[in-house]
């Protein structure tokens, strides 16, 4: 089977990204772009991000998660530390985050190192989650082979009975990561495939070096 996709084409004309408009910090530009995305109303989940890790099997792997916070330090997401993703990060904390915002014809690509959040910060976020999401984090042996869907449903029902009227505490194997960026590339679609690509790279003096890349 084959399907020719060569006629799928789009001209990017909405925005531009010039050096004169780039702030000193990439996090400041990310904040600006994210606010514009939220204001556009173009997506139900503007905080979706693709996380890529170097897998224990030697293959890179990418998956979509939800970004839960960003600050001048970096980007925060939560997961099961014992999952395939968590084990890969434990072995090699160098990861990539990729944001794709087609409505604004933009991408952001982050290279950095992931580190576990302080336990009290993971506790605080876990407490804010709906009860079903809390139980889901306990029920699912993330990334492990399981016998059936019924296996999960049965475990969930048992935990609902067990925790009825009780506080659900965060399991030690579930929590957050802070990704501290060493490189942040901003990509803005432009006509004729001459896209704007500005890359911030963290220098030895912890200052950000701004460079333009060829499209």
Helix axes 131-139, 149-162, angle to 10 degrees: 120
Q: What is the mean pLDDT of residues 52-67?
A: 97
Let me know if residue 25 belongs to a domain.
Answer: yes
Residue 7, pLDDT above cutoff 90: no
Let me know if residue 37 belongs to a domain.
Answer: yes
Let me know if residue 203 belongs to a domain.
Answer: yes
Instruction: State the CB neighbour count (10 A cutoff) for residue 214.
Output: 6
Let me know if residue 51 belongs to a domain.
Answer: yes
Beta strands 208-212 and 48-54 are unpaired
Task: Tell me how many domains the chain contains.
Answer: 1
H or E segment and range at residue 32:
helix 26-40
Instruction: State the CB neighbour count (10 A cutoff) for residue 144.
Output: 10
pLDDT in tens, 176-206: 999 999 999 999 999 999 999 999 999 999 9
Quote the CA–CA distance of 120 and 174 in Å, as a whole number: 12
Quote the CA–CA distance of 195 and 214 in Å, as a whole number: 8
Let me know if residue 47 belongs to a domain.
Answer: yes
Quote the CA–CA distance of 76 and 72 in Å, as a whole number: 11
Residue 6, pLDDT above cutoff 90: no
pLDDT in tens, 127-173: 999 999 999 999 999 999 999 999 999 999 999 999 999 999 999 99
CA dihedral (26, 30, 33, 35) positive or negative: negative
pLDDT in tens, 106-127: 999 999 999 999 999 999 999 9
The catalytic residues are 193
Question: Which CATH number does the domain housing residue 74 bear?
Answer: 2.30.110.10
Let me know if residue 156 belongs to a domain.
Answer: no
Let me know if residue 167 belongs to a domain.
Answer: no
For residue 99, give its domain range.
19-126+174-212
pLDDT in tens, 89-103: 999 999 999 999 999
Using the structure block, give the residue that is written with the tokens 């609902």.
160
Going from the C-alpha of 116 to that of each of 122, 161, 172, 174, the distances in angstroms are 9, 31, 12, 10
Under the banding of pLDDT at 50, 70 and 90, the label for residue 38 is very high
- Predicted pLDDT at 104: 97
Quote the CA–CA distance of 138 and 113 in Å, as a whole number: 26
- Predicted pLDDT at 164: 92
Quote the CA–CA distance of 14 and 10 in Å, as a whole number: 12
Q: What is the mean pLDDT of residues 5-30?
A: 94
Task: Give pTM, 2 decimals.
Answer: 0.94
- Predicted pLDDT at 43: 87
Going by C-beta distance under 8 Å and a sequence separation of 6 or more, which residues neighbour residue 36?
Answer: 104
Let me know if residue 118 belongs to a domain.
Answer: yes
Quote the CA–CA distance of 62 and 21 in Å, as a whole number: 31
């Amino acid at each position: 089977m084959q399907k020719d996709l060569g006629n799928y084409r789009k001209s990017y004309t909405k925005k531009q990204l010039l050096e004169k408009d780039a702030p000193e910090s990439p996090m400041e530009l990310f904040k600006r772009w994210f606010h514009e995305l939220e204001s556009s109303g173009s997506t139900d989940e503007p905080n979706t991000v693709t996380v890529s890790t170097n897998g224990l099997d030697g293959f890179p792997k990418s998956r979509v998660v939800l970004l839960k916070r960003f600050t001048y330090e970096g980007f925060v997401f939560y997961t099961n530390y014992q999952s395939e993703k968590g084990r890969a990060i434990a072995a090699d904390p160098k990861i990539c985050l990729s944001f794709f915002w087609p409505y604004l014809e933009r991408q952001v690509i982050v290279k950095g190192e992931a580190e576990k959040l302080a336990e009290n910060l993971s506790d605080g976020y876990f407490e804010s989650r709906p009860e079903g999401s809390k139980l889901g984090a306990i029920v699912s042996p993330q990334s492990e082979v399981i016998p059936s869907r019924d296996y999960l449903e049965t475990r969930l029902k048992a935990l609902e009975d067990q925790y009825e009227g009780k506080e659900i505490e965060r399991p030690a194997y579930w929590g957050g990561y802070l990704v501290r960026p060493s490189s942040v590339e901003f990509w803005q679609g432009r006509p004729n495939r001459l896209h704007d690509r500005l890359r911030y790279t963290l220098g030895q003096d912890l200052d950000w070096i701004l460079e333009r890349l060829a499209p």
